[in-house]
Amino acid sequence: MLTYPDIDPVALAAGPLQIHWYGLMYLVGFAAAWLLGRWRAGRPGSLWTTDMVDDVVFYCVIGTIAGGRLGYMLFYGFDQILANPLNLLKVWEGGMSFHGGLIGVLMAIALFARKYRLRFFEVGDFVAPLVPLGLFAGRVGNFINGELWGHATSLPWGMRLPCERFPSYCAGLPADAQWSIPVHASQLYEACLEGLVLFAVLWWFSSRPRPMMAVSGLFLLLYGVFRFSVEFVRLPDAHLGYLAFDWLTMGQLLSLPMIVAGLLLLALAYLRRGANISTA
């Protein structure tokens, strides 16, 4: 069994000012997207410039943060908005939704495409492979924060948590217990699948000739499948629980439209394969 390293969520502190690892992981993700985008824009035959990459990353940063926060509060914390609308602005307390962030990024892509007179999926196909490393960094941030744990497990990679920091996971154990029973580190599962595996597949696929919309469709399909699958071992949000059938979670419900949309985009892309674009 593995033991949680119990990393301090605060990376740096100077008086009342605190810089959290979770926030730094977002910076890592945005920086990775920017560097990869500029590298791809510099390849021979690319229709993108580095200035365009700078612009689209800026648009997507705004869309990610605004959409991610708003989506989380609407999907998972609507009661907090009702209690105090200012809770919507308390991003330093955590709470970001990928699905909300995705909606924000889609809106950002639409605005960017309009500005540069590009087709929506010309931009979407360029941006999609840049996203997974940011998802990887974000899930590592979740792990450091000690959130989004999974169900108890007897598998050899199950992770024991310190009872002092996670008392709810030690309920029912002797009072002097120092460690919880092993649980799934579902954040790391998601970091691997939604981050590293998705990045490898999309980066390879997008570097080859393919129909327009195919990269965007593959991103939606694979992310939806990976997220839907990991939700089976991840504990649902305590205030929501299971939505139906004693297994359906909010994350799965929000991932289903992504799977359907991904399949539709892939089908449309290959039915219209005459509209192939370059690998740039």
Residue 5 pLDDT greater than 70, yes or no: yes
Q: pTM of the predicted model, to two decimals?
A: 0.90
Instruction: Dump pLDDT digits (tens) for 12-59.
Output: 988 888 888 988 999 999 999 999 999 999 998 899 999 999 999 999
- Whether residue 123 has pLDDT greater than 60: yes
Confidence band, pLDDT 50/70/90 cuts, at residue 148: very high
d(CA 178, CA 164) in angstroms, rounded, equals 7
Q: What is the mean pLDDT of the chain?
A: 91
Q: How far apart are CA 13 and CA 83, in angstroms?
A: 30
For position 119, what pLDDT does the model report? 96
C-beta neighbour count of 272 within 10 angstroms: 12
Tell me what pLDDT residue 98 has: 85
The answer to whether the beta carbons of residues 68 and 101 sit under 8 Å apart is yes
For 218-266, the pLDDT digits (tens) are 999 999 999 999 999 999 987 788 888 888 998 999 999 999 999 999 9
CB within 8 A of 106, min separation 6: which ones?
Answer: 63, 124
Contact predicate 194/218, CB 8 Å: no
Q: Tell me the HSE value of 68 on the side-chain side, using a 13 A CA sphere.
A: 18
Q: State how far the Cα of 266 lies from the Cα of 178, in Å rounded to an integer.
A: 50
Residue 165: what pLDDT?
94
The CA-CA-CA angle for residues 61, 58, 200, to 5°, reads 65
Match 């990353």 to its residue by tokens.
57
Better pLDDT: 239 or 216 = 216
Output the six-digit token pair for 172: 């029912």
The 3-class secondary structure across 77-89, one letter per residue, is CHHHHHHCHHHHH
- E strands, the chain, in order: 2-3, 10-14, 17-20, 159-160, 210-211, 276-277
Written as one letter, the residue type at 280 is A
Place of tokens 């948590």: 161
pLDDT (0 to 100) of residue 161:
97
Across the chain, which distance is largest between two alpha carbons, in Å?
68
- How far is the C-alpha of 191 from the C-alpha of 68, rounded, in Å? 17
Q: Is the pLDDT of residue 275 over 90?
A: no
pLDDT one-digit tens code per residue, 61-113? 999 988 888 888 888 877 777 777 777 766 656 678 888 899 999 999 999 99
pLDDT at 280 over 80: no
Local confidence band at 130 (pLDDT 50, 70, 90 cut-offs): very high
184 or 278: which leads in pLDDT: 184
Distance from C-alpha of 153 to C-alpha of 186, rounded to nearest angstrom: 11
pLDDT value of position 190: 98
Per the listing, tokens 């997974």 go with: 132
pLDDT tens track for 131-143? 999 999 999 999 9
**What are the structural domain ranges in the chain?**
16-151+179-277
